[in-house]
Amino acid sequence: MYAADMGRADHLPGDGPTVAIIGGGASGTLAAAQLLRRAAAAVLPLRVVLIDRDGRHGLGRAYSTTYPCHLLNSPAGRMSALPGDPGHLARWAQAEGIAHDGFLARRDYGRYLSGLLADAQRRAWPTAQLSCITADVTSAAQPGPGRPLRLGLAGGAGPVEADIAVLATGSLPPGAPCPVPAGPRYVADPWAPGALDGTGDGRSVIIIGTGLTMLDLAMAVTDANPETVVHAVSRHGLLPREHRGAPVPGHPPVPAIPALAGGPLRLAALVRQVRSAAAQHPGDWQDVIDVLRPQVPALWQRLPAGDQRLFLRRYARYWEVHRHRVPPATAGRIARLRAAGRLHVRSGQIVAASGGPDGVRVSVAHAGTVTDLDAGWLINGTGPAADITAAAGPLLGGLLASGLARPDPLRLGLDADAAGAVIDASGRAGDRIFALGPPLRGTRYETTAITEIASQAEALARHLVTVSPVLARPGSAA
């Protein structure tokens, strides 16, 4: 385990400039590990400060779960945290003696990430040093040109001075589809620490959303109590597809879609090409999706803004259920819950919600009729917030208000350049504030899974140590 909380906001050990990484989940952890590695290789004294409000350094929201039924949604061969070494995770699991069918438990993956950070910390010391702080960063300001950033912390601690700040703050928590009265029976963020603690009382549970989060929640609450029945509601009622088993040996790989190379792109043409590729490889649509996925950020940037909006409105839900697939073990569990009448999946729009200390009632509109559902609990299991300007907390909201950052044109996240440098209100990419992972959803679309995060962390560390005028020494080429 890395040396957690060895740094206090007012006394950070080590020499050299400071990079403060805000958010200790997978994005922050991998950015920290890559920076430590790069700085040590370049013999660049550096202090890396990893700040997480929940103290979940090395884990974040996805990998702090303690439920063994919560599995990774990609096979181990695609979840290596080190780009260029796809076998790294599988070798780690073997060395740890972890038996698995290709899909590791997410809590094990949390150990893997934490171990990676600990290893980077050990190898980099004393040239580059890591401090972990548990605190909520509520503001970031630059007192003057060329001056370090000043990060304000909730509760009066700090501030932390940093030459560079990296926003690794994850997805913004989802909003409710309609006004929901605040109360103990509404769980607004199921991944907040302890959020599910009361939900195992055997009362029925309504989950908003039918994606991967819903599947995790349904397994967790039905595991906790054999009486629990779940109603999952989304507008389309679509469930994520199941991962196919291992490819048949000797099966020819699906080639990249050639017509997508270069030039301006329209959504209609893209959809046509993808459908045609899937039709040419019947039974292998999963490979078509997987071949397409690494190209998505580049394709996304070639689409006009109107086409991006159309994609979000019309196609995103279909892309998501095909792209974010579930392990066969999860699909089997969900099928059994449905067959036993313990999980009901409904399509419809939640148009009203009410409740008090004893339970909740939601009204679901579908095909011209409205049905009322009563339950003990209502859990929001939908995806990330759709508008950063409405959902940003004090830190991101403050950056937007001060003009140090601006939203991307779709307002899904922050605007940033190819290196992750946050673009300010005047349209200029600065050299002090960077972002990676989910906050870049609007500029890259596919940016939330480990494959993308790991590549971004590596590229960001390379940029900061070898190119950034704030950190890099002339001639440095680590």
Minimum distance from residue 181 beta carbon to ligand FAD (Å): 25
Size of the site for ligand FAD (CB under 6 A): 34
Q: Which one of residues 37, 38, 53, 88 is an interface residue with ligand FAD (CB under 6 A)?
A: 53
| From 26-34, 83-91, 218-226, 343-351, span contacting ligand FAD (CB under 6 A) | 26-34
Q: Which one of residues 18, 74, 127, 308 is an interface residue with ligand FAD (CB under 6 A)?
A: 74
- Kindly state whether residue 137 participates in binding ligand FAD, applying the rule CB under 6 A: yes
Q: Which one of residues 438, 446, 463, 472 is an interface residue with ligand FAD (CB under 6 A)?
A: 438
Q: Which one of residues 7, 28, 430, 442 is an interface residue with ligand FAD (CB under 6 A)?
A: 28
Minimum distance from residue 356 beta carbon to ligand FAD (Å): 29
| From 54-62, 180-188, 217-225, 290-298, span contacting ligand FAD (CB under 6 A) | 54-62
Angle, alpha carbons 124-52-35 (nearest 5°): 25
302: closest CA among 265, 276, 336?
265
CB-side neighbour CA atoms (13 Å) of 458: 12
Give residue 287's region: left, alpha or beta (phi > 0; psi -120 to 50): alpha
Residues 382-401, one symbol each (x = binds ligand FAD by CB under 6 A, - = not), give: -------------x------
- Kindly state whether residue 170 participates in binding ligand FAD, applying the rule CB under 6 A: yes
443: closest CA among 406, 399, 393, 475?
406
Chain residues 215-234 in contact with ligand FAD, contact rule CB under 6 A: 216
Question: Cβ-count burial of 198 within 10 angstroms (0-12 exposed, 13-18 middle, 19+ buried)?
Answer: middle
Where are the extended beta strands (E) located within 194-276? 205-208, 230-234
Contact 422/435 with Cβ under 8 angstroms? yes
User: Rounded CA gap, 453 and 33, in Å?
Assistant: 13
Minimum distance from residue 329 beta carbon to ligand FAD (Å): 13
- Kindly state whether residue 27 participates in binding ligand FAD, applying the rule CB under 6 A: yes
Question: Cβ-count burial of 246 within 10 angstroms (0-12 exposed, 13-18 middle, 19+ buried)?
Answer: exposed
- Kindly state whether residue 430 participates in binding ligand FAD, applying the rule CB under 6 A: no
- Kindly state whether residue 433 participates in binding ligand FAD, applying the rule CB under 6 A: no
Residues 343-382, one symbol each (x = binds ligand FAD by CB under 6 A, - = not), give: ----------------------------------------
- Kindly state whether residue 60 participates in binding ligand FAD, applying the rule CB under 6 A: yes
- Kindly state whether residue 25 participates in binding ligand FAD, applying the rule CB under 6 A: yes
- Kindly state whether residue 448 participates in binding ligand FAD, applying the rule CB under 6 A: yes
User: Rounded CA gap, 374 and 359, in Å?
Assistant: 7
Query: Rounded to whole angstroms, what are the CA distances from 213 to 16, 37, 89?
Result: 41, 33, 23
| DSSP string of 38-104, one letter each residue | HHHHTT--EEEEEEETTS-TTTTTTS----TT-B-SS-GGG--SSTT-TTHHHHHHHHTT---SS--
Q: Which one of residues 4, 20, 32, 51 is an interface residue with ligand FAD (CB under 6 A)?
A: 51
Minimum distance from residue 461 beta carbon to ligand FAD (Å): 15
Minimum distance from residue 427 beta carbon to ligand FAD (Å): 25
- Residue 12 tokens read as 């950070």
Query: Rounded to whole angstroms, what are the CA distances from 186 to 189, 336, 367?
Result: 9, 27, 26
Backbone angles phi, psi at 259, to 5 degrees: -65, -10
Q: Which residues bind ligand FAD (CB under 6 A)?
A: 22-28, 51-54, 56, 60-62, 72-74, 136-137, 168-171, 191, 213, 216, 395, 437-438, 448-450, 453
